[in-house]
């Protein structure tokens, strides 16, 4: 039996029920959202299940949604079942004032640098990470540059004509 998105969704729904939300299939990749406290349980299940076998972590990244009150930061996991060539994406959301998410480094060694980069640019604290410190930015930096908290350009500039930029 070939692994399909329907089989993945069915097995995850049987295991975790209605705790998993926002199911979507974009360009053939199944996506869903989960509570942040379940991220390790879901990753472990996806890794261990003999049918699912999502044993390759492709990427972990962060996203800042400033308009989503209480869940401004998202951690996005991209997983790959190499045997059946099936990819999967899932998100966990956290409050920007307490951005704590469990670390996946115990399950995927490659999560180490990905989580450090997500911390470095978005400020997500990965609980249980063996060495969570900045990896690309300077240690003295007291902000997280990829959060959408700052204007893209200097608003005080007078040498720009907004009509030239379609505004």
**Does this model's pTM top 0.75?**
yes
5-150, superfamily in CATH? NADH:ubiquinone oxidoreductase Nqo5 subunit (3.30.460.80)
Enumerate residues 6+ apart whose C-beta is below 8 A from 91.
Answer: 22, 31, 32, 33, 34, 63, 74, 75, 76, 77
Nearest to 44 by CA among 119, 115, 112, 105: 105
* Domain locations along the chain: 5-150
Spacing of C-alpha 74 from chain mean position? 5
| 100 neighbors 125 (Cβ within 8 angstroms) | yes
| pLDDT tens track, the chain, 167 positions | 689 999 999 999 999 999 999 999 999 999 999 999 999 999 999 999 999 999 999 999 999 999 999 999 999 999 999 999 999 999 999 999 999 999 999 999 999 999 999 999 999 999 999 999 999 999 999 899 999 987 776 667 677 666 766 65
């Amino acid at each position: 039996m070939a692994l399909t998105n329907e089989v993945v969704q069915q097995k995850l729904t049987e295991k975790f029920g209605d705790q998993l939300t926002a199911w979507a299939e974009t360009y053939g990749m199944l996506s869903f959202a989960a509570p942040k406290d379940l991220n390790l349980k879901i990753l472990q299940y996806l890794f261990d299940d003999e049918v699912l076998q999502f044993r390759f972590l492709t990427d972990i990244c962060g996203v800042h949604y400033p308009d989503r009150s209480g869940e401004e930061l998202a951690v996005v996991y991209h997983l790959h079942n190499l045997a059946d060539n099936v990819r999967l994406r899932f998100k966990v959301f956290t409050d920007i004032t307490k951005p704590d998410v469990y670390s996946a480094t115990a399950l995927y060694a490659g999560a180490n640098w990905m989580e450090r980069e997500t911390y470095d640019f978005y400020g997500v604290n990965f609980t249980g990470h063996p060495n969570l410190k900045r990896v690309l930015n300077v240690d003295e930096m007291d902000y997280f540059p990829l959060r959408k908290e700052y204007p893209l350009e200097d608003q005080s500039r007078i040498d720009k004509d907004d009509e030239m930029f379609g505004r």
